[in-house]
A = this chain, B = another copy of it.
Amino acid sequence: MKRPVISLLTDFGASDHYVGVMKGVILGICPAAQLVDISHEIEPYAITEAAYTLAQTWQFFPDGTIHLVVVDPGVGSLRRPILATTTAEAGGHLFVAPDNGVLTLLLDTAVMRKVREITAARYFRQPVSQTFHGRDIFAPVAAHLASGVAPGRFGKGIEDAVRLNFAKPMAAGPDKWTGTILKIDRFGNLITNFRSERWRRLAWQPFELRAGRQNVSRLATSYAEVMSEEVFLIQGSGGYLEVSVNKGSAAALTGCEPGSQLELILRKKPGKST
């Protein structure tokens, strides 16, 4: 028996029964579904945090996974439910979500094949409540997809899905960039918006990164090579540079929060100065 995978990402928390209710609805429609939690601890209504978390996660799931994202401050408004599919080369992943920008980091990339507005109410749980579309729209649609209903049955393609502005580093001078902190994880690592592959030069180019109360000037290749208490940069597992401390919390040492500004200054190489 095939066991289609459905991942779940919400801001519902672990205390309330909302996630359990969605899972019950899914299993009633698609008993074979394999349900996997990504997180339910997204800050309530935090669309950008959900977008970032999803972008860090989906590609590690099996081909054909259905990703159910319910961070939905606009429930009950006219915001559309959408269904997005990636190309076959990108694994044919499917995303079921409100059209509020939570898919922004995927929408304009090469992996995205098509975005549809979900309009086929025959796949909804009736009556549709005004407050819990996770239960009444998104979970049933994900379950019907898992049961083999083709994406085209849920609605027509659209081109104007909502995009949010995600901060990218900006040049602030000839050798100076400003960036920000996308997220702080449980270990206190500061995940910056500087992409690792764009900043490889920091391995040989002297630099200073101003992060709150700390100035960082070292790009380490592992946590273990650095003494405790020293704040350093490292290539994080999600493709971004992270500010870290070996066995400690960079968040505590820098005083930074999500959204805090960073300043990156490139220095001349000592060997070439005169």
A: residues with CB less than 8 A from B are: 1, 3, 5, 7, 9, 11-21, 23-25, 27-28, 31-32, 34-42, 44-45, 53, 56-58, 60-63, 65, 73-78, 129-132, 135-136, 185-187, 221-225, 234-237, 242, 244, 247
Residues of B within 8 A of A61 (CB): 24, 27-28
User: How many copies of the shown chain assemble into the complex?
Assistant: 3
How far, in angstroms, from A27 to B21 measured CA to CA in the complex?
Answer: 22
Query: A65–B223 contact, CB under 8 A?
Result: no
Given A186-B12, A186-B16: A24 touches B53 (CB 8 Å cut-off): no
Residues of B within 8 A of A63 (CB): 28
Given A15-B39, A236-B131: A224 touches B74 (CB 8 Å cut-off): yes
How far, in angstroms, from A15 to B53 measured CA to CA in the complex?
Answer: 10
Residues of B within 8 A of A62 (CB): 24, 27-28, 31
Residues of B within 8 A of A73 (CB): 247
Residues of B within 8 A of A1 (CB): 1
How far, in angstroms, from A242 to B9 measured CA to CA in the complex?
Answer: 24
How far, in angstroms, from A56 to B131 measured CA to CA in the complex?
Answer: 14
Pick the residue among B3, B45, B237 that contacts A129 (CB under 8 A): B237
Residues of B within 8 A of A37 (CB): 19-20
Given A62-B31, A237-B129: A36 touches B20 (CB 8 Å cut-off): yes
Shortest Cβ distance from A34 into B: residue:
B27
Query: B36–A14 contact, CB under 8 A?
Result: no
Q: How far is the CB of A173 from chain B (nearest CB, A)?
A: 30
Query: A24–B40 contact, CB under 8 A?
Result: no
Given A77-B224, A132-B237: A7 touches B24 (CB 8 Å cut-off): yes
